[in-house]
Structure 1
Amino acid sequence: MIKKLLLPILFLLSFNTYAQQKSGAQQFWDLLKQHCGKAYQGEITHGMTDAFKNGPLVMHVRQCNDSLIKIPFFVGEDKSRTWVLKLANSRILLKHDHRHADGSEDKVTQYGGLTSNSGTANMQIFPADQQTIDLLPAAAGNVWWITIDENSFTYNLRRIGTDRLFTVKFDLTKPIAAPTAPWGWKD
């Protein structure tokens, strides 16, 4: 009788220990990877600018593996933006890959930042890195963060010391048809 009671308890304890061994970054990564291949429509919830008024906002979790996730972000017919996430040593690097319609790199590209810690399963924070500051000195105070849960994904930007705040929120409960390849990619 005691053995029958102890077995489920031991299983739960061992499972809980395994989950605790995964860093926040790895848990976040695993959650995001569940959406690989899927696309979602979004809406601006803070900081609307003219650049984002030209059609539907779509993210497509297009490429995923154990250390790289690429998420093209389309604004109408503008397929120039891809969020590139890289996981290494329980930290995640966020870069913004900007391309022209012919696939060539924009002069303002590859900016972003590296998490300063492992974050949580539902949020990762990316302060601007030195490459970003060298490319865009005004972005020295940029902090990006991404949140994810079972219902939504948000991409956020705050420029510390200013009123600048940008948030786009995607509904993860309603996948849409996957779009064609972003600029610079091949289907």
Structure 2
Amino acid sequence: MKKIVVAIVLLTQFVLQAQEKTGAQQFWENLQKQCGKSFEGEIKEGASNDTFRDKKLVMHIRSCDKNTIKIPFFVGEDKSRTWVLTFENDRIKLKHDHRHEDGTEDKVTQYGGTSPNSGSAGIQFFPADQETLNLIPNAATNVWWITIDETSFTYNLRRIGSDRLFTVKFDLTKTVATPAAPWGWKD
């Protein structure tokens, strides 16, 4: 009987600890479960003439530290893009790191935003920050969001007040071969 009581107490403590995690913490843990894996995606929303159409789209959750996750996003042979997520003070920040083939930074890089609240386990929103406004004035009304669940990851962009909408969805049930290092990285 004593073992059953101890087991119930331990289980209750575990459940309470799990419930105490914020949306941002749960989202972070859900994303970290995919570390090291690569997935193919497809455009779900976007301009019919965008440069991503008819190209192989692959994301590689390449680097996961306690507070930083880096996800290179490959568009065909273009290895210039990396989504950089940072977890700090129960908020998640999204930045876009753009590089040239030689590894140098593009002139348009490090734009993004920070979640205004802890969000939820399955979705985080990132309204454009001041750095984005200073770098790309037209992007002042950008809102990015990322969703994750057991089967999919989506990266989304909406420019409020315009028709601009972009969504790429990755199938988390099927890994693909890991691509070579993105521009500016070493294997």
TM-score per shorter chain, which class? over 0.9
Match of 1:18 in 2: 17
Match of 1:160 in 2: 160
Match of 1:47 in 2: 46
Q: CA deviation at 1:51?
A: 1.5
Distance 1:54 1:99 in 2: 22
Q: CA deviation at 1:5?
A: 5.9
Equivalent position SS for 1:50: coil
User: Quick check: 1:126 aligned with 2:126?
Assistant: yes
Match of 1:136 in 2: 136
C-alpha offsets along residues 78-128 of structure 1, whole Å, 9 cap, x if unaligned?
Answer: 000000000001001100000111111111000000000111111110000
Distance 1:139 1:41 in 2: 27
1:104-123 aligned at under 5 Å gives the runs 104-123=104-123
C-alpha offsets along residues 157-179 of structure 1, whole Å, 9 cap, x if unaligned?
Answer: 01111111100000000001100
Distance 1:130 1:55 in 2: 32
Contact 1:85 1:93 in 2 (8 A): yes
Match of 2:181 in 1: 181
Equivalent position SS for 1:53: coil
Cα RMSD after superposing both structures: 1.4
Query: 2:89 is matched by which residue type in structure 1?
Result: N
Percent identity of paired positions between Structure 1 and Structure 2: 67
Structure 2, gaps ≥5 residues long = none
Contact 1:54 1:75 in 2 (8 A): no
Query: 1:10 is matched by which residue type in structure 2?
Result: V
Structure 1, gaps ≥5 residues long = none
C-alpha offsets along residues 54-77 of structure 1, whole Å, 9 cap, x if unaligned?
Answer: 520000000001100000000000
C-alpha offsets along residues 129-175 of structure 1, whole Å, 9 cap, x if unaligned?
Answer: 00000001111110000000010000000111111110000000000
